[in-house]
Chains A and B, each alone.
Chain A
Amino acid sequence: MIFLKRQLPLAITFVVGVIFAVQYYVPHPISEEAITHAADTMKIVAAFALLLGIASLFHVHALKIKRQVPGWGYSFVLYLAMFVMIVIGFWSGGENKVDGAQTGFGWMYEFMMVPLQATMFSILAFFIASAAYRAFRARSREAAVLLAAAIIVMMGRVPLGQFLLPWTWDLTQWLLNVINSAVRRAILIGISMGAVALSVKIILGYERSYLGGGKDQ
């Protein structure tokens, strides 16, 4: 059992990790085909993993209904919504349109999913305003500089700001192209080094948290 849970996954990780690290330096078409095959395998694994997720979802809500915890009625709503979407989806063959006519699935997508998702994203506008009012205080010199830069960019990125204070446009362009680019590059370098280090540790077996469970010595 230890072999299946530990040694075998580590061995697979090492072999596959080295192969695909080396693949980057191999231009031969064989290496691109290898990546495509590996990606196809990952898609199949991901599909099975989705079943795991759906099982967990059903289990959690079944427990809520069984124990009648506060709000358990919404678990019924969840089951109903899933059932309706799945049935209509199969009935429509998974198509939004058939011969130019919108299907039931397409109707639910266009008039339920699209507005709901756009609405959730739009809530950000309100939350940004309330977060800004609560937190954008010039508590220190650095915070004051940050605040000034934020106001300049907010003015410089909209026509009204460009109209009222024309100089904010050029300053915004400079801030985005020079200061912002430099800082993003630095963050990218740091993150990339961390990513390379973690990948090397995983391939060589130093990092085993992805296997779940304790750390072996």
Chain B
Amino acid sequence: MNVVAFLCLLFFSGVAFAAPPSLAPPEGFRVLDTPNDTGKSLSLVWKASPSDSKNRSIQVWAVESPHAAFKKVAEFPSNTRYVKAGDFPWWAQPAGKGEHYVKLSSSQAFPIEDGKSYAVKLLVREGDQEAWSEIAEGRPAPNFFNQAQVNNLVFVLAFTGVLLASIAAARRNPHIYLRRIAGLDAVEEAIGRSTEMGRPILYLTGSGGMDDVSTIAATVILGEVAKKVAHYETSLKVPHRNPIVMAVCQEIVKEAYIEAGRPDAYKDDSNFFITSDQFSYTAAVDGIMLREKPAANFFMGSYFAEALLLTETGASTGAIQIAGTDSDHQLPFFVTTCDYTLIGEELYAASAYLSREPVLVGTLRGQDFGKAFIMSVLVFGTALATIGVIAGTENYFNYVLDLFKDFK
């Protein structure tokens, strides 16, 4: 019994006085050029450890020249900086899910230049214990293509393909059904009313420049309106906020009159510049409405706070008002004060509706395909994500869902 007790004492004292387990250095540490970036940064990757905790810290030490002294550039708890689902697309991930990933960008404390080689090592520290990783080297460089956005590029190219195919189909068969847009049916009525009353038509192209899609749509519709106006010899007034838009509209209206066979009826000063200041322009147009009392007002393009000031003044003069805008914040004001409102992309569709040109009609069809695809993806993606969460299989469904995410 005494021998057993003695042996037990020996064993447990050995255990008590044994050296604590030594700290393991980070496993699988490697340094890469950060992918899909503008350069001047390195990516550090290493495997996660079951012993990672907030009491254990990781320090990053780096040096440009291998003979110089290493410098500490970052420090953080070891249970942070994991790669999570959604950080990278599965087709372009520098580190696997669950691994540690740190992006080391150039800073004033540690500048990083493209093309130069940098040596990096990690120090794991817990209490008094430390362990260094192997030294790994990497060379940063800017990338010419962002692989994380391949899905974006594929969708853009696919949409372009669908658009071109729709335009080709519309050229072969121009009698594609377009649903009636009430506001556009009223254009003819508005022009006729102005002619009967002998009062001018006022057409506004909005606040945007020629880089604004809604302004382009407004100028296309102006061309169609000008053709009809040329037939009836009604006066057309187009006050402008933007000189470039004014120059474009002058050409469009002139061409419309020529196409209508009435070049003699064209007036050079039908398009005129007022000012680019928002409320000065609004005051001037309100003045035109109150003095000249146009019988029809067209508000096409993008608008801001001036929308209600323009339309309410127009309504007080008794004019028929047709608006079309993609400025959704002004839609409530247009809807309440105008007789007809083209909402959002109805403005873009309006040019197709009026002219019935195959290119424009085909574009509408292509857009509809795009929207149908997005709606399907929304329903399908929501269902997948929900099933994934319920069944715990979201990891697998992420392969599909990642295709529709926007990665940078």
Interface residues of A (CB under 8 A from B): 21, 24-30, 32, 45-46, 49-54, 56-57, 59-60, 63, 70-71, 116-117, 120-121, 123-124, 127-128, 130-132, 134-136, 184, 187-191, 193-202, 204, 206-207, 209-215
Query: Can you name 23 A-B residue pairings with CB atoms under 8 Å?
Result: A26-B146, A27-B145, A28-B144, A32-B38, A49-B242, A52-B273, A53-B242, A53-B246, A56-B243, A63-B269, A116-B279, A121-B279, A124-B305, A135-B337, A136-B336, A187-B328, A190-B371, A193-B367, A194-B213, A194-B326, A197-B363, A209-B220, A210-B219
Find chain B residues with CB under 8 A from A63 CB: 269
Find out whether the CB atom of A124 lies under 8 angstroms from the CB atom of B210.
no
A12 to chain B, nearest CB (A): 14
> Given A193-B367, A210-B219, A215-B357, are A128 and B308 also a contact pair (CB < 8 Å)?
yes
Q: Is chain B's interface secondary structure helix, strand, loop, or mixed overall?
A: helix
Number of B residues near A (Cβ < 8 Å) is 73
In the bound assembly, the distance between CA atoms of A54 and B217 in angstroms comes to 25
Q: B interface vs A, CB < 8 Å?
A: 36-39, 142-146, 149, 152-153, 156, 159-160, 163-164, 167, 210, 213, 216-217, 219-220, 223, 240, 242-244, 246-252, 254-255, 258-259, 269, 272-276, 279, 282-283, 291, 305, 308-309, 312, 315, 326, 328, 333, 336-337, 343-345, 348, 351, 357, 359, 363, 366-367, 370-371, 374
Check A49–B247 contact: CB distance below 8 A. yes
Question: Which residues of B sit under 8 angstroms from A70, Cβ to Cβ?
Answer: 291
A28 touches B38 (CB 8 A): yes
Interchain nearest-CB distance for A182 vs B (Å):
11
Q: A63 CA to B156 CA in the complex, in Å?
A: 50
Of A32, A52, A194, A204, most buried by chain B (CB within 10 Å of CB) is: A194
- CB nearest to B274 among chain A residues: A57
On whether the beta carbons of A191 and B308 are closer than 8 Å, the reply is no
Give the dominant DSSP class at A's interface.
helix
- Docked-complex contact B39 and A56, CB < 8 angstroms: no
Q: In the complex, what residues of B have CB within 8 A of residue A201's CB?
A: 163, 359, 363
Q: Are A207 and B216 touching (Cβ within 8 A)?
A: yes
Report the Cα distance A209→B163, complex, angstroms. 19
